[in-house]
Structures are given as structure tokens and as C-alpha cells.
């Protein structure tokens, strides 16, 4: 995809996601800052903040777990390089702890694909699996949403017992809702 294609897709994703009733009524959204050619999140993050939504963004910990910090616009981010991994934009302010995500009404998850059951394929680091396990252990039930390109909604992805399905996927052209096959 060209830079213009990526920008257009990001704007379409933001527009579609902002139409979701779950995001319209959310007071707190846990999200992430997209990297590389991932479906872009900055326009969506800024629109949520403009609506008065508290947006939490992750900070990667040395054990691949996630801490959280508040997003207050592009100026509230700092580039952080984690070992030999890619540089991530993370919240520059106060860290709120790994449990801060439990207060989110909606959790936006990164992914490589999602299947017809709502099973999300991540990048394999386990960071978001830990987040979802933590949420389940606390009895928190936020709306789980993944942002993808159209071709990344597929028939089947491999899953494991700990995988938790998402309720919806937003692509530049559509919103797809899923009925979770298992809790």
C-alpha cells in the first residue's frame, strides 16, 4: 500500500469505528498507536480525545506485559526502543499500571487477522493475551474491537485455549460483528 492508501484507510477506519455505539458511549478506551503498515490509529485516537473520551495507551514492559498511560494528543507520546525491536510511540506521562485497562469500556486490539468466529491472530508476543487474561480474571467485560484491512478478515485462523474472541472488526469498508463461540 502506498502512503496515500494507508492514510485513506486510516481515515476510513476512524470514520467507521466512530459510528459504533460502543465507542459513542465509551468513557474510557484502551487503544494502541499503530506502527509501520498496521491499520492507522492516530485519527481515531485524536477523534476520541476530542469527544472527551479518556484514551489509555500501552507501554511495553521488559516481560512483554503492558503498562498504560493517558493519551492527550500527539505531543503526549514519546518514541521508545525496546531492545532490538521496533521503536514504539508510548505515553510520555505517568504510568497507571497494568491493571488500568480494567476500567476501559472498549479495548482496541492490534491484529494480523480475525476469523469468522472473532478469533484474532496477533503478532505472537503475548502482550494482549495477558491483557485479555487480566480482564477476564477481574471480571471486566469491555467491548473488544480489532482494526484491520479488508483482506485480513478471513475464514479461519489458528487458535489456542487461552485466546479470547473479539466482538467486532472494523475495516475501511465495513464493520463485522461476531458472536463469540466460547467465553
Give residue limits of the domains in the chain.
3-177
Output the known binding site for substrate. 33, 38
Output the known binding site. 33, 38, 120-128
80-121 residue pLDDT tens = 888 776 789 999 999 999 999 999 999 999 999 999 999 999
Output the known binding site for ATP. 120-128
List strand residue ranges (DSSP E) for the chain, in order: 28-30, 54-60, 66-71, 77-81, 87-91, 106-109, 113-114, 120-121, 143-147, 168-170, 175-177
The pTM for the full model equals 0.92
- The CATH topology of domain 3-177 is Rossmann fold (3.40.50)
Amino acid at each position: 500500500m502506498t502512503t496515500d492508501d494507508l492514510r485513506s484507510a486510516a481515515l476510513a477506519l476512524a470514520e467507521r469505528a466512530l459510528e459504533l455505539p460502543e465507542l459513542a458511549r465509551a468513557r474510557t478506551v484502551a487503544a494502541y498507536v499503530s506502527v509501520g503498515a498496521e491499520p492507522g490509529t492516530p485519527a481515531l485516537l485524536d477523534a476520541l480525545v476530542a469527544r472527551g473520551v479518556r484514551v489509555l495507551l500501552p507501554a511495553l514492559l521488559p516481560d512483554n506485559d503492558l503498562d498504560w498511560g493517558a493519551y492527550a494528543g500527539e505531543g503526549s507520546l514519546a518514541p521508545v526502543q525496546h531492545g532490538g525491536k521496533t521503536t514504539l510511540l508510548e505515553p510520555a506521562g505517568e504510568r497507571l499500571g497494568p491493571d488500568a485497562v480494567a476500567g476501559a469500556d472498549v479495548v482496541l486490539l492490534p491484529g494480523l487477522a480475525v476469523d469468522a468466529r472473532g478469533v484474532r491472530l496477533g503478532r505472537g508476543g503475548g502482550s494482549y493475551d495477558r491483557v485479555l487474561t487480566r480482564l477476564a480474571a477481574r471480571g471486566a467485560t469491555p467491548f473488544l474491537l480489532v482494526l484491520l484491512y479488508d483482506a485480513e478478515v478471513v475464514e479461519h485462523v489458528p487458535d489456542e485455549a487461552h485466546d479470547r474472541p473479539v466482538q467486532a472488526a472494523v475495516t475501511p469498508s465495513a464493520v463485522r460483528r461476531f458472536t463469540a463461540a466460547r467465553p
